Amino acid sequence: MAAVTRLLEKIRQSEADLRCGCHLPIQYGEHNLPQRGSKFDQRHNNCSGKYAGFLGFCSLHGHNQNYLDSDHPLQLDIRNEIARLANLPLNQLWSGIDGCSAPNYGMPLSRLAMLWARLATGGSGLDNDHDSALSSIASAMAAHPEMVSGTGRCDHAIAQASKGDCIAKVGADGVYTIGVRSRGLGVAIKIADRSLGPLYTTAVSVLLQLGLIDGHELLTPWVDLPVRSMAGECVGQLQTTVKLARL
């Protein structure tokens, strides 16, 4: 919240300019309701930092604030860079609108994994400027994982357990990506029914099988997750059956 507020102040924009919508912060739920009288705005959206970056780009380059339009210079730049880094023709990116209202793109999991390997290593395969930008992003994610996901979440725990060697980010609708800096590896996972529990336990299982985070206690909450009833009774357990194979 403080970081987003500072960014908006620097570029002389307000919370109303974010256009990502407001939702209840995700630490709250059925068994952890916010205090009576709590107030939330768009800065509480988990994409508000991205939107502050959108606004910063527009301010820097003198663009109008219709930055969610698919033909806006910002979105054209984003689409072109994603295609280049994934080594895909533009017409092979799947386009849609994200839950926060921004244009978003899909691609085969193999290309998404490659993109994250490039991010993790700072090796874009393009030029020094791209390499430098990717290295800066990966280093920032490793140094400040709480700014990627907040605390108490799987992304944060993976970064901490690997001492910054792994950078991870959950995506909407059951997508998970991990970049392994020391090995130049990218991991991309998709759970078809969009469930987060199986997504996280699968991601941790993959890292364990790769020998990257052997039995780290920080990741215990995402290993063999218990399934509980509304009354808190353990009624089952999530167990990952996926096994990595060398092709």
Whole-model pTM: value is 0.92
Residue 215 reports pLDDT greater than 90: no
Residue 173 reports pLDDT greater than 80: yes
The domain locations on the chain are 1-107, 108-247
Supply the mean pLDDT for the chain.
93
Q: In whole angstroms, how large is the CA radius of gyration of the chain?
A: 19
pLDDT by residue (tens digit) across 142-156? Answer: 999 999 998 889 999
Residues in Cβ contact with 203 at an 8 Å cutoff, skipping those fewer than 6 apart: 154, 158, 168, 176, 178, 187, 189, 222
Q: Mapping DSSP to helix (H, G, I), strand (E, B) and coil, where does residue 185 land?
A: strand
